[in-house]
Structures are given as structure tokens and as C-alpha cells.
Structure 1
Amino acid sequence: MTDESKEVERIDRRKLLKRVGLGVLGMLGVGTAYPMLEARMCQLSRRVVALPKLPPSFRGLTVALLTDLHHGPFVPLAYIRHVVDLTNSLKPDLILLAGDYVSVNPRYIAPVCGEVRRLEAPLGRFSVLGNHDHWESTFESKAQLDRAGVEQVDNRGTWLRRGSDRLRICGVGDLWTDHQDLPSALGDADEDDAVILLSHNPDFAESVRDPRISLMLSGHTHGGQVVVPGFGAPFSSSKFGAKYLGGLVQGPACPVFVSRGVGTTGPPVRLLCRPEVVLLTLT
């Protein structure tokens, strides 16, 4: 091999190594950026849920479930606005909000509730508070939800009626930061009634034995927020591990649907765990 050929080979090798190096850096950059991008890739999740005691006039009812909006420094109001617009585009019969509207600072409560105010559903909008709402300001969270015209069902409930049929919508206080008064939430419901219970934290289901509850709706766990292929979610905010990370789960006394939520806490990232707006169709 001539000296000139050797020099050309060295140049080609340097070019190859440079390209490989740039490719590796690019992949690392994408790998670092993607989880932050996924945290804003809110998807629509449609599920059909059977409630055996659902009255005939409520069959086919559509329920939009929103939880864990977590408006704060890392979850911008523009993203919340997009989620509200997506929810309204579904034209749900009923909207249920399962808590954690805010993160980090109480100054974010009024803006996020201003967006929640735009939610539209002919049968109403009902909510409970989550642990972050209590941590930032219980008083302000309740006041702003009142201003938004959202009915709060923490430890209480109400009846939706269609003719002689009725459906109970109720809730309990957050498991970490409030008390849970299930008898007050259930009111005069009997075992022949259909009852939907809101509880921000799905772990509450493990202490429930009342047969009147047809379905519990929750959030809180974010689906783990980060899911590692072949391993699962390294972290869960539930005492019961992966059981209540997301989807429809059977609790001791009733089925529990857990939404992965809309926002994030801690690092503003998601991996293989996209945020979601849930649209349930009751049959």
C-alpha cells in the first residue's frame, strides 16, 4: 500500500468514526428528548365498561374521565387548554374529574380551574380533590372549582335522573390528605342502584367492602409515568405495586378504572406511558 493510499484510508476512517459519533450523539439526544415529548402526547383512550345494575335509560352513557392535570412549571396552560378542547370535542354526556389539578404552587390553581370551567357536558361536571390540591391550598382549590361551576363530591354525592331511573355520582376525600366518609357519599343508595364513586387514590378500593358501589374511578398513579421495557414501571405511588397503575382492575368489592392522567410530577417526562383522556361508555 502506498503512502498516499494509507493517508486516504486514515481520512476515510476518521470520516466514518465522525459519522458514527454524530449518530450516537443524535440517538442519545433523541433518547433524552423523547420522554419530554411523550409527556405532551395526550391520547384518547376509549373503553366500554359494564355496570350490571345500570338503569336502561343510562345505557350507552358516555363519561369523560380527567385526572392529574398537574398544571405547574412543567405542565403549561396551553397543554391543559388542548386537553380541554379534546375532551369537549368528544361531546361526553358527563365529565368526572378525579383530582390533582395543580402542582408546586397555589398560584397555578386559578388558571387551571379557568380552563376546567370550559368543559361542557349536558349531565354536569363533578370533581374530587387530590393530594396535590390539598398540599397547595385546599381552600383555594375548592373556591376556584366553585367559580368554575364544577360540583364537588368529596364525601358526598348526587343523583342523576332520567325519568324514573337514577344513577348515583359520588366521591370520597383523598386517601393521603383528607378523610373518607363513604356512608355520606353513598347516601340513600341501595343495592339495586348503580353507583359511580370518585376517589383520587385507587388504594382506597382495598378498604371498601360496600356492595353498593358499581364502579370506582381514580388517577394518582400516572401509570407509573415511566415504563422500562421488559421490567415495567420502576416506581408506583400505590402501596399495592403495579395493581393500580392503569386501566380496569378488580378491587375487593368493585371494579376500579385508573386513568394514567394528563400531566406529570417530578421530572416532566413519560416513557411508554402516554398521558390520556379517557372516554368510558357504560353498558
Structure 2
Amino acid sequence: MRIVGFTLVAVAVLALLVAVHRYVWRRFVGDTTTPGSPWRRAGTIAAYVLPLLSVGALVSGRAGAPFRIQQVLAWPGFLWLAALLYLTLALLVGEAVRPLLRRWLARRAAAAPEPEPEPAPVSVPASAPEAAPVTEPAPGPVPEPARGSAPGDPSRRLFVARAVGGAAAAAGFGTVGYGTYGVLRGPRVKRVTVPLARLPRSAHGFRIAVVSDIHLGPILGRSHTQRIVDAVNRTQPDLVAVVGDLVDGSVDDLGPAAEPLAALRARHGAFFVTGNHEYYSGAAQWVDHIRELGLHPLENARVETGGFDLAGVNDIGGESEGQGPDFARALGDRDPGRAAVLLAHQPVVIDEAVEYGVDLQLSGHTHGGQLWPGNYIAELSNPTVAGLERYGDTQLYVTRGAGAWGPPVRVGAPSDITVVELASRQA
């Protein structure tokens, strides 16, 4: 049954992609170019090649393709997926503009003044002319002078198609370009103050730098890691929390890209919990490598630090390997009089956090939706998509993450590193 369900979903997604590409080709190529023209040939070739590159970018890693091949496919393949989204949205807006533009052109043509008839040339003969024979006009209707262009004028349709298509292309590619710049520029630092009822006065002002969803892979590499490390160190945190989805690939391919993490500096150290993408990439090997870089993996474990308990649970993606979250092991025997901060990649485990009396859960995973209107989709499966919210006596903070999965593009959900400052009500 699972295989049948997966097949049906795959067929539906494939049919949708074919339909969307056909629509985009029609509006950008079919309606704006003439048959046989070089532009039409080039646009038709692109309509076949670009989706193939996107499929290659999506499956090459899982298929075990060499990392260099993954890198070659990733940039054009993933960027086209983002471009396809925003080009399609822009064209759909253009569908509403198209009839208005046609109507405006028709009214403008109808209001154009009629052309003045040209006077016939008059010749004055030197002598009296003989009577010229009179030619009767051929029977039939007398045509009226042209006034503007006909309602179905091909030139008008072509003008409208090119105007709407050009505006949609500018809006779509401009959006993707700006979103790509935001990711490659690196995350911005946010600051949030969170009061905890059980936090002692001695821990007032304790600062945790929360980093999630770095997503090292075929596109984001060592320089991306270095930008994040530099940004974190500039905040001079007391503790660094890396809450999952560090990588999209093996230690062999991405180990060098992760090496700058060894330079993270915090008075109480840097800690790590797994995300679902670690379990696609060899979680056990990555946990060992993270430990070699000087970070402290919290695999369903807890430490006492800075006047509160810091706990971490494995991501639910590890359940298929028998390595899922174990709240009893991480939190079951702790002193309930102490404040507890939990690192958990996915916000959906907030119910367990409430059950075990956690004061604050720090999560990522959602990317804040990453590509608008993806935030509305993320809301369907996550209690909180971004920001700070309260669930009973437990507060949940979700960072948008420091990187991007798939397309290196963010629209409406800028990447961030969040400095969470804990506040004691006794201070």
C-alpha cells in the first residue's frame, strides 16, 4: 500500500510539473515568438532541459552520484525550481492584467483620429482636353478608411503577450535574484529576550546563540560555514546551540566544509542535536565528526550549565534507525526545581516538552517557509513556523535557520542566527 501511495503521489507531482512547464512555455515562448524563429527553438529546448536539470539536482545525492556531479546539477537545477515558482505566480497575476491591457489598447485604437484623405493630383493641360472616357466603379461595398487596428489584430495580441511576459519575467527573476543574494550574503543576527520563572538570578542575561538548518551541501560550502561562525562569534555568546540539519551529504564530501565550526567560541561551549537531514546523510558519522570539531552532541542527553539544565533529543527522523527522541532519558530524572532548556530540531515535539516540564524549547526545521507562500504550507504541519510562542508553561522559539534547502533562495523568510537572552524573574 505504501508503494502504491508513493507511486500515485509521484505521478501527480510529475503531471503537475508537466502542466506548469507547458503553461510557462506557452506564455513566455509560444505566445511571444513566431514559429520557426531562433527564439522559439531556444525557449523550447530550455523547456525540456531545465526540468531535467531540476530532477537531476533532486535525485543525484540520493542516487549516489559523485559529489562533483551533484554540484554541477545543483545550481541550475535548484535555481530553476525557485524561478518556476515565481514566474508562474507572476504569470497568474498577468492573467488578470492581460484583458485590461487589451481593452485599453482597443479603446485607444478606437479613439484614434481618422486619417485625412489625400487630394488627387490636378494637372492643367496646355490646350483644351478631349473628353476623357468615364470609368464606372466596380460594383460592391465601398471600404471605410482604416481606423486603428481590428479587435483581433495579431500585432495587438503579440504586443500584449510580450508586455505581460516581459513584466512577469522581470518580477520572477528579480525575486529569485534578490532571494539568492540574501542566502549568499549570510544570516542576520536577531535578539530575543525570554523570561524563565525558574531561572536563578545568577543566570540572568545568559545568552544562547541558536543556529539551525545550515544545510551544507553541493551549493552551500565552507565559505557559508565561515560566515556563520564569524557572525556567531561576534555576538560573544555564553553558549552555542546548533539545532540540526547541518548537512546534506556525507562526511567524506562535506567534512572540509564543516571544519570552520571548530572555531566557534562560547564560555560554556557549543552543543549539537541531530535534524532529519542528518539521518539522510549518515548521522552516526556526523555525530562523531562534530565531536572531533569540538562541539558536544546531545543524543537524548542532558548537562547542567549556567544555572539551568540543557537537554537535547534526537530528531524524529532517527526513529526508523532506532535513534529517535527519548524524552525520558533526556529529562526524566532531573530536578524539577531547575529551569530546563531543550534543544529539539522539530517544533512538533512541543507536546512532549510540555509534558516533561521544559521551560524553553529551541527549534528550527521550518525555515520560516523559506519561499513565500511556503510559510502557509509550513503552518499546516508545525505548531510554530517562526518566532516565540507559549504552550502552557513551556515557551517555544523557532529560528528560520541560517541556510537554505534545495534552492539557495529565501523570499519572505530571511535567514537568521538568534541570540536568545534568558531573563530571571528574580533579578
Q: Is the structural similarity TM-score above 0.5?
A: yes
Deviation for aligned residue 1:168: 0.6
Letter in 2 for 1:92: P
Deviating more after overlay: 115-124 vs 243-252: 243-252
Give the corresponding residue for 1:6.
Answer: none
User: What is the CA deviation profile of residues 45-81 of structure 1, one whole-angstrom value per residue up to 9, with x for unaligned ones?
Assistant: 1100111110111001111001111000122321221
Please show how residues 154-165 of structure 1 align to structure 2 within 5 Å. 154-161=299-306
Q: For each residue in 1:176-214, what CA deviation from the matched residue of structure 2 results, as whole angstroms up to 9, or x when unmatched?
A: 223222122125422210111111111011234435311
Q: Which residue identity does 1:37 align to in structure 2?
A: Y
Give the stretch that moved more between structures: 216-225 or 178-187: 178-187
Q: Which of the residues 17, 28, 33 maps onto 2:177?
A: 33
Normalising by structure 1, we get a TM-score of: 0.83
User: In structure 2, what is the Cα distance between the partners aligned to 1:271 and 1:197?
Assistant: 29
CA contact (8 A) 1:63 1:92 kept: yes
| TM-score using structure 2 length | 0.57
Inter-partner Cα distance in structure 2 for 1:200 and 1:27 = 34
Residue 368 of structure 2 corresponds to residue 223 of structure 1: yes
The residue that corresponds to 1:174 in the other structure is 315
Of the structure 1 ranges 181-190 and 264-273, higher mean CA displacement relative to structure 2 is found in: 181-190
Q: Deviations over 1:132-158 (max 9, x none)?
A: 112101221111111011111120111
Aligned to 1:38, the other structure's residue is in SS state helix
Whichever residue aligns with residue 194 of structure 2, its letter is V
RMSD: 2.8
Structure 2: tracts of 5 or more residues without a match:
1-114, 117-158
Residue 189 of structure 1 is matched in structure 2 by 334
Letter in 2 for 1:29: F
Write out per-residue CA displacement over residues 216-265 of structure 1, whole angstroms, 9 at most, x where no aligned residue: 1111111111123xxx624328724xx32111122355111111001111
Higher strand share: 1
Contact 2:243-2:275 at 8 Å conserved across structures: yes
Query: Match for 2:404 among 264, 269, 273?
Result: 264
Pair 1:281-2:425 in alignment: no
Q: Distance in 2 between matches of 1:201 and 1:253?
A: 19
Tell me which of 99, 115, 124 is aligned to 2:260: 115
Matched, 1:66 2:206: no
Letter in 1 for 2:402: V
In structure 1, stretches of 5+ residues that fail to align are: 3-16
Are the structure 2 counterparts of residues 168 and 107 from structure 1 closer, same or farther at C-alpha, using a change threshold of 3 Å?
A: same
- Within 2, Cα distance between the matches of 1:263 and 1:108? 18
Structure 2 match to 1:11: none
1:138 to 2:271 alignment: no
Residue 50 of structure 1 pairs with residue 206 of structure 2: no
Compared with structure 1, are the counterparts of its residues 227 and 97 closer, same or farther at alpha carbon in structure 2 (3 Å cutoff)? Answer: same
Indicate how the Cα distance of structure 1 residues 153 and 32 shifts in structure 2: closer, same or farther if over 3 A, else same.
closer
Q: Does the 8 A contact of 1:210 with 1:253 survive in 2?
A: no
Report the structure, 1 or 2, having the larger helix content: 2
Partners of 2:222 and 2:259 within 8 A in 1: no
Shift of residue 267, structure 1, vs aligned partner:
2.2
* Max Rg structure: 2
**Identity over aligned residues, as a percent?**
28
Match of 2:347 among 202, 217, 221: 202
Moved more, 104-113 or 243-252: 104-113
CA contact (8 A) 1:205 1:252 kept: no
Q: Give the drift of 1:117.
A: 1.1
User: Greater shift after overlay, 93-102 or 186-195?
Assistant: 186-195
Q: Distance in 2 between matches of 1:72 and 1:224?
A: 19
SS of equivalent to 1:263: coil
2:332 and 2:269 mapped to 1: Cα distance?
Answer: 19
Confirm or deny: 8 A CA contact 2:388 2:397 kept in the other structure: yes
Tell me how many residue pairs correspond in the alignment.
265
